[in-house]
Structure 1
């Protein structure tokens, strides 16, 4: 009888048993959440890095890893208010949250009319192009893990390009504001706030006039530095499979799904695979990036610094970002058609149903690897599911109670299967991933 062709992708039974019995997975997830939201530049982020060092050291005491400095434009919001002049007496202040790297307003605030562009599609911007200049643009936050999503940074850039003086984005969850990055790196920009859907409803255009608001944002900006942690577990050749997750989050809650889930899963996979890496064809490189929420800065600097030869030695990047909060997993294969059979074969071999999404989505660190010519995928839960708990990412509701232990363990088992299979794939198969 012919051998099962899926055998080469099946996770070794001993490794699977270890992962199923690993109580550290749930402990690590809760301890990461205890660190807080992990906004870059805060003590919360520093506590998370210290925790990761401690846990990796416990798994592999002889491997101290290395820290790669990551300079970036430091930013902190000191104050943010949004005052509505909508006919109420007196005018009220609405809940708001400054987007990361928003510029400050004048000390007295920015007062202007608001134009509501709904979802904020390119077509909506174009249709209202004559009305945007000198006004504050209001758009809606979208489910980030979906085909056709228009990222807030694209909407922010469109508002600037059309001459808007400010930017408001309404979150998806009643009673809650929304966080996120403006995408601005340095220099010019427009003030940007996340607001609640109820506030957006109050800013509906009237027949007689546009509503008026006053935005006030006070910020501090100065050069800052964070780090990327890298741990190498060499295999039999000089090639690598990179397993990555981002550390940083936002200060509204615990950043539990995004990305406490990915960090806990990487730690568990490291515990299981690192002791076995010497027997793999390719080595395992474990990486923890930061300032991911700030336009993927940490991973961008890492990939840009790699030589052509170093990039060629990385066979695959498996990036974990928001891998629980739904039982449904998707793998974003970043335009690499040759990676999809490998993903689907690994899922089938291990009794899992995983969706693949081919177009490159630049919504996490895998995008920098892919744009650098390195095959890369992102695992994410709840893709294209507006009812999944992932819908509350970037709001104060991104807390640990949204994550099921079974969801996190399933994502971890699949990650281990992908990484182990990638580390042992024959050269011909790995060559297909680059196509």
Structure 2
């Protein structure tokens, strides 16, 4: 008897909803039902990943992805679809990356599983053969700086497993990928090997963008899979004289033209004021870019499709943006913000999805305290759908450009992150690793938040 009585007592104890809250709850339920029943996001993602595939800035895949984006936004019912041109970097991986241990033991060992880091220079056809200096941190590099010259520096810095939100682990470790080559070149290193930005239980190497300090020589940089990172570390302990042969063939070509793909649903009351929602259309070349960031693109398109399907004409113009070149230049986000500022556009809010298509838990937000408190007050409307976390600061990389230029309030969908860095920037970021239900729940959460912002935020 008691098990049936408890929910009744809890219901009685809950404060009564106002008429407006009841209306919002009903509309949000309609949004959920529409997305979970009729969503096209999963099929859109299948086409993007399987028919377009990898779509790094400057590549033929980029062009195909832009064409896909135009078609998908038109099919979703956008009033207007157009391309926004920007110059993007054109880095090419090249063929035949390899690395192997050369040891006095003369035993046959499998090659090391590596991927060149994005924007890295190549080694040249002859490759680099050199002793390896393992370091655990930049402090360790400084302590060993007199040993660096003529060697390959191996940054063996592991993801911190104690962070429950794994993006903190990424933020803690990613400096070795981004800055490691130049920090080592300062002391005469010939190349660097960086432990992948992951805590996954596999040996997939994870690429990603790096930058060079122009004060020092540009040297090749690769990421190494976790199991092979451990194998290399173990071999160096057994045989400190071991060397590594490393060869990559990547190069940076001249900048080329890419595009943001933009679709709009015109506002009924304030057509010259904008709600931006988007993800980035580019991906690394070694995978299908399913979670990073195909899911964010198709979720954003789904927001527009859902509004259209339900006849929810927003008061402000809803603008879906599939951003160019987030991965190795952020040129698309910068161009979007630049044009918004030049045109003196009025932007109410900007929302991004670029943290994977996993189960949504909430939103990270950067805005003034009053607006953040207002969104937090909507938590009871979202909690029935498992969305409850509205506390953390944040926002996506691309909408962050708009926030920096105009002070636009920004937010990012915050999914459960436990599996994201198993696949981030790695060859296993493929369609098969996206769950349809989780993807759709994220799209629903984004649509519901934008419905509420459109109704209650003013410029």
What TM-score do the two structures reach when normalised by structure 1?
A: 0.84
> Is the contact made by 2:350 and 2:408 (CA closer than 8 Å) also made in structure 1?
yes
Q: 1:113 aligns to what?
A: 131
> Is the contact made by 1:86 and 1:202 (CA closer than 8 Å) also made in structure 2?
no
Offset of 1:14 from its aligned partner?
A: 3.8
Offset of 1:401 from its aligned partner?
A: 2.7
Match of 2:436 among 395, 399, 405: 405
Offset of 1:75 from its aligned partner?
A: 1.5
Offset of 1:49 from its aligned partner?
A: 2.1
Look up the SS of the partner of 1:293 in the other structure.
coil
Deviations 1:113-150 (A, max 9, x none): 333334x4x54455545544554332347489522523
Q: 2:153 aligns to what?
A: 137
RMSD of aligned Cα (Å): 3.2
> Is the contact made by 1:71 and 1:223 (CA closer than 8 Å) also made in structure 2?
yes
Q: 1:433 aligns to what?
A: none
> Is the contact made by 2:36 and 2:441 (CA closer than 8 Å) also made in structure 1?
no
- Taking a change above 3 Å as real, the CA distance of residues 338 and 398 of structure 1, as seen in their structure-2 partners, is farther
> Is the contact made by 1:318 and 1:376 (CA closer than 8 Å) also made in structure 2?
yes
The answer on 1:150 being equivalent to 2:154 is no
Q: 2:54 aligns to what?
A: 37
- 1:360-399 aligned at under 5 Å gives the runs 360=394, 364-372=397-405, 373-383=407-417, 385=418, 388-399=419-430
Look up the SS of the partner of 1:408 in the other structure.
helix
Look up the SS of the partner of 2:168 in the other structure.
coil
Look up the SS of the partner of 1:310 in the other structure.
coil
- Taking a change above 3 Å as real, the CA distance of residues 181 and 22 of structure 1, as seen in their structure-2 partners, is same
Q: 2:93 aligns to what?
A: 77
- 1:163-312 aligned at under 5 Å gives the runs 163=186, 164-171=189-196, 172=198, 173=200, 174-183=202-211, 189-204=218-233, 205-206=236-237, 209=240, 211-220=242-251, 221-235=253-267, 236-237=269-270, 238-274=272-308, 279-307=313-341, 310=344
> Is the contact made by 1:156 and 1:167 (CA closer than 8 Å) also made in structure 2?
no
- Taking a change above 3 Å as real, the CA distance of residues 137 and 307 of structure 1, as seen in their structure-2 partners, is same
Distance 1:109 1:54 in 2: 43
Distance 2:311 2:450 in 1: 11
Match of 2:68 among 29, 46, 51: 51
Offset of 1:403 from its aligned partner?
A: 2.0
Match of 2:376 among 310, 321, 344: 344
Offset of 1:296 from its aligned partner?
A: 2.1
Q: Which structure is higher in helix share? A: 2
> Is the contact made by 2:79 and 2:263 (CA closer than 8 Å) also made in structure 1?
no
Distance 1:345 1:142 in 2: 35
How many corresponding residue pairs? 419
Distance 1:216 1:223 in 2: 25
Distance 1:369 1:145 in 2: 26
- Taking a change above 3 Å as real, the CA distance of residues 381 and 113 of structure 1, as seen in their structure-2 partners, is farther
What TM-score do the two structures reach when normalised by structure 2?
A: 0.80
Distance 1:138 1:380 in 2: 33
Q: Which has the larger radius of gyration?
A: 2
Distance 2:190 2:366 in 1: 35
Structure 1: give runs of 5+ residues left out of the alignment.
Answer: 431-435
Structure 2: give runs of 5+ residues left out of the alignment.
Answer: 1-15
